[in-house]
Chains A and B, each alone.
Chain A
Amino acid sequence: MIGLPALLAVASALFGIGLYGLLQRRSLVAMLIALELMVAAVSILVVALTTWTGRGAVAGQVIVLILAGVAAAESAIALSMFVAIHRASSTIDVETLSELKG
């Protein structure tokens, strides 16, 4: 049987990997992928905690559904922005795009 601690550990590890990717990757799309991984980790956490403690199990499902929908919408918009940025600056390299750097 799996236990709650194992679930928490997997979710945390997934979160960490996603965070690594968000901080380390250069391409905007790669950062977006990592971000989605982090969202997925959070989803796992929500479901795990609501089903294992037995409180608000259905609400947890609803939350995750909403979260998935919002994440999808956000990635759609983000990707279209990346296309526009690329059109404007010919790059989607985040290190080049940091205009504030003095």
Chain B
Amino acid sequence: MSAAGLVFAASAVIALVGAVFAVSFKNIFHNILGFALAMLGVAGIFLSLGSDFLAIAFVIVYVGAVAIAMVYAVMLSYPLDLPQKRRSGAKILGAAAVAAAGAAAVWAVLRSMPWRAADFPSKVSAAATGVRFLGDYVLVFELISVLLVVAMMGSVMVARRVRVGEHA
């Protein structure tokens, strides 16, 4: 087993374990931590594939930003004082069934496609990515910037408290 293979195996395990944590625990904070762990695992997978830039980007964006934002949101909305409702067994079973079917379908479809896989993955460098990003895909780059600004403004507008006399 090569280094890449080892990294991949470890990262896959971390990702899946983290994902399971993310959807199982009752305490939402534990879920967020599991989420962060899963994203670290995903970053490791990217590393094993040779996409180092993506790995770093994922860590920064997800673990560094999204997870923190989630913590903020939870603090602002968590019904700490209300009693927890019981989990419905039927719902768990149904969700598990549908999820299993969904995963199986995805995997089956992917397996049925005649990918002509090479012997090893092609290497992609960050430089090449950057050149393409700001070259051929510069419109997309600009648009995503605009999107992020709009999202920032939008989330502020949606979440702010309306003062008396001011309309939303």
User: Which A residues form the contact surface with B (CB < 8 A)?
Assistant: 1-21, 23-27, 29-30, 32-34, 36-37, 40, 43-45, 47-49, 51-54, 57-62, 64-66, 68-77, 79-87, 90-93, 95
Partner of B99, one of A23, A47, A51, A92: A23
A51-B23 in contact given A20-B95, A70-B147, A79-B70 (Cβ < 8 Å): no
Interface residues of B (CB under 8 A from A): 1-2, 4-5, 8-9, 12, 15-16, 19-20, 22-23, 28, 31-32, 35, 38-39, 42, 45-46, 48-51, 53-54, 57-58, 61-62, 65-66, 69-70, 72-74, 76-77, 79, 82, 85, 87, 91-92, 94-96, 98-100, 102-104, 106-107, 110-111, 115-118, 120-122, 124, 128-129, 132-133, 137, 140, 144, 147-148, 150-152, 154-156, 158-159, 161
Known: A19-B103, A80-B159. A40 touches B39 (CB 8 A): yes
Contact flag A69-B70 (CB < 8 Å), given A13-B103, A16-B99, A19-B102: no
Say whether B116 contacts A53, CB under 8 Å. Answer: yes
Q: What B residues does A79 contact at CB under 8 A? A: 69-70, 72-73, 155
List chain A residues, Cβ under 8 A from B106: 11-12, 15-16
- Known A-B contacts A19-B103, A57-B124, A80-B156; A72 and B77 likewise in contact (beta carbons under 8 Å): no
A83/B159 contact (C-beta < 8 A), A4-B115, A61-B51 known:
yes
Interface pair B5/A2, CB less than 8 Å apart: yes
B16 to A77, Cβ gap below 8 A? no
Contact A19 B111 (CB under 8 A): no
- Chain B residues within 8 Å of A2, by CB: 4-5, 8-9, 48
> Cβ of B94: which chain A residues have Cβ within 8 Å of it?
23
**Cβ–Cβ contact B23 & A17, under 8 A:** yes
Q: Nearest 3 CB-CB pairs, A to B? A: A16-B103, A21-B23, A80-B155
Bound Cα distance from A65 to B141, whole angstroms: 10
Closest residue of chain A to B152 (Cβ to Cβ) is A76
Chain A residues near B85: list those with CB within 8 A: 26, 93, 95
Cross-chain contact A82 with B151 (CB below 8 angstroms): no
CB distance from B102 to the nearest CB of A (A): 5
Q: Which residues of B sit under 8 angstroms from A57, Cβ to Cβ?
A: 122, 124
Please tell me if the beta carbons of B53 and A53 are within 8 angstroms of each other in the complex: no
Say whether, besides A4-B115, A61-B129, A80-B158, A51 and B124 are in contact (CB < 8 Å): yes
